[in-house]
Amino acid sequence: MILIVDSGSTKSDWIAVDNKGNKLLEKIRTKGLNPEILSEQKLKKTIKKNADLKTHRKDVTHVFFYGAGCGTDRGKEMVFNALKEVFVNAVIKVEEDTLAAVYGTINHDTEAAVVCILGTGSNCSYFDGKQLHQRVQSLGYILMDDASGNYYGKELIRDYYFNHMPENIKIAFGAKFNLEADYIKYNIYKQPNPNAYLANFAEFMFLNKDSDYILQLIKKGIRLFAKNMIMQYKEEIKTVPVHFAGSIAFFSQDLIKEVALEMGFVVGNIERRPIDGLVAYHTKNL
Ranges of each domain in the chain:
2-101+275-284
Confidence of residue 11 (pLDDT cuts 50, 70, 90): confident
Which stretch of 98-107, 181-190, 216-225 has the lowest confidence by average pLDDT?
98-107
Average pLDDT over residues 228-250: 96
Please tell me the CATH superfamily of domain 2-101+275-284, with its number: ATPase, nucleotide binding domain (3.30.420.40)
| Amino acid type, 42 | K
Task: Tell me: pLDDT of 248 over 90.
Answer: yes
Average pLDDT over residues 261-270: 97
pTM for this one?
A: 0.84
